[in-house]
Amino acid sequence: MQIYYVNGSFEHKSDALISVEDRGFNFSDGVYEVIGFKNKKLLNFNKHVDRLKRSLFNLQIKSPYKNFKSLELIITRLIEINKLCGGFIYLQITRGNAKRDHLFPVNVNPNVVIFAFPQKDLSGISKGVKVGISEDIRWMRCDVKSISLLPNLLEKQKAYEKGFFEIWQIRNKFITEGSTSNAFIIDKLGNIITHPKNNLILGGVTRDVVIEIAKLNGIKVFEKPFSLADIKKCNEAFLTSTTVGVIPVKQVNNIKINSKKKGEITSFLSEKYDNFLNLQINE
């Protein structure tokens, strides 16, 4: 995973350089995506591209690609050059290089950096994780996948130091999402509840797929905010993201989630989600 893609060329990590005037470096003025791949096949690629286009549009960053097929070819080539089979792609696009000035520069070309990283060992978390609770201190455009992640870092670090895997953030008494994942509960009737996709959360690709799978299998999904009181009453809870898939949540702060029962619906969704990814490998 030593070869990085930077603005049109494939370079060894030590030669993969970006200007000190990069707006991403100076202002976090950029967006990113994390995309899985398996057997060299990109997973949920079109969904990631749709979100990437939305993020670029919302920040008024010029798209480096007219046709995102060329992006797919670049990433596929990067996977080949690095001799990889599975893992994740990190893709970052910033507004470009310019003298440090808050106003958008004119006539700049975006900077594109792409690299691959491996799948972490999930064996320690696949049976369930503990999540903490924190105030959601982020801005009001969490739907944009911006590289400006300081609030997420601060909260995740705090959570980690307290022994939690993730943090569920609360805004106005309702859970929005995790610092790196979307949050779900399943109520006593077997209905899934998760925060609506609006400016207060990042619309996760995994979230969308899991919701689709649930609905196709007759599980009702309510996209509405839920509170700590709802968590206390819930049957199951789980979180989703590209890098971890569907992971059961067995404890939220000091609330133990139905610890005696196996999370049947979560297990079902996790299995169906894996199948959905595997189908793309054979396409």
Name the minimum Å distance from CB 274 to ligand PMP: 14
Which neighbouring-strand residues pair with 228?
none
Active-site residue 145, yes or no?
yes
Strand 236-241 with 245-252, pairing: antiparallel
Do 78 and 114 form a contact (C-beta atoms < 8 A)? yes
How many residues belong to the chain? 283
Name the minimum Å distance from CB 275 to ligand PMP: 17
Nearer to ligand PMP, 25 or 32 (CB): 32
- The Cα–Cα gap between 172 and 174 comes to 6
- The Cα–Cα gap between 37 and 57 comes to 25
- Contact residues toward ligand PMP (CB under 6 A) are 34, 152, 177, 180-182, 202, 204-207, 240-242
Residue nearest ligand PMP, Cβ-based: 204
Name the minimum Å distance from CB 131 to ligand PMP: 13
Name the minimum Å distance from CB 15 to ligand PMP: 28
Name the minimum Å distance from CB 150 to ligand PMP: 12
Catalytic residue, chosen from 41, 145, 156, 250, is 145
Nearer to ligand PMP, 98 or 249 (CB): 249
CA-to-CA separations, 201 to 131, 136, 143, 225, 248, in angstroms, rounded: 17, 10, 5, 11, 20
CA dihedral 154, 158, 159, 165 (to 10 degrees): 70
Amino acid at 204: G
Name the minimum Å distance from CB 201 to ligand PMP: 6
- The Cα–Cα gap between 122 and 142 comes to 26
Among 120, 133, 90, CA closest to 226 = 133
Q: Which residues are catalytic?
A: 145
